[in-house]
Amino acid sequence: MTVSHEETTSVEHVHGRRIAVTHRPGLPGRVPLVLCSGIGSSRDLFDPLVAALDPGRPVVRFDPPGIGSSPPSRTPYRIPQLAGAVAEIVRTLGYERFDALGISWGGGPAQQLAFSQPDRCRHLVLVATGTGMLMVPARPRTLARMVTPRRHRDPGYARRIAGELYGGAAREDPDAAITALHRASTATPVRGYLLQLAAIAGWTSLPLLPCIRQATLVLAGDDDPLIPLVNSAILGRLLPHAQVHRYPGGHLHLLTHPRELAPLIDSFLGADPDTTERTRR
């Protein structure tokens, strides 16, 4: 079979919103991996990871409303609404089943996808994330840095706070973190960022975790100021079929050192074809 490396980008109209999507087809019959990015970050954030993953694996990534190439919503949205829209987009692309990966803020939509789509979501990967509003929080000074998207819009400011905010390699090499955050060609819009804050406000996966039956890989850095390590233990304890892998690194390790973690993700997800019937748009 021929592996298709050519990515296609479109803006999908779904559930009253327009969402920009990039799709790498990979090998026919393979289950796609849906990537959910962190707050203030577009789908371009995942460029290094996509390059490091098995080239035969289909990949679907998207911009939340108001971020990247997705126009902002006229009204606020919630995490369950976003997850529902993403699930519909995946079906529109021709896939009935999928795997989901979420990093940081994106762990919210990923967990919601697993909970809301139990027959369609096959595996779940959670990276540097927690259970939403009810989790062990970062220090107040660290949380205060997250209130605005300044670090996405001001490279100088981002460089000054990178080590304190992201930990790991960013303490010694803040430029790597800056490169990861500023991969997108446009600055993060304030309105889109606020929409993301509003979406996660009041949302938590804590009561949902025992109901998420999918096999789950939890990846957590041992030097992550934003997501204290204890949150991975909570996920591992409450998710019925979770395995926790702790790596030496910080919040952005998946993006700055993708070739260290991509093999773990590929091994966990496997290479099984999708045996359900598929339709093409």
Catalytic residue numbers? 104
Residue 181's nearest CA partner among 46, 41, 36 is 41
Give me the amino acid identity at 163. G
Half-sphere exposure of 59 (CA within 13 A, CB side): 30
CA of 50: how far to CAs of 22, 44, 87, 129, 165, in Å? 11, 10, 20, 19, 24
Dihedrals phi, psi of 102, to nearest 5 degrees: -130, 135
Where b means 16+ CB within 10 Å and e means fewer, 58-81 reads bbbbbbbbbbbbbbbbeeebbbbb
Helices H, strands E: what count in the chain?
11, 8
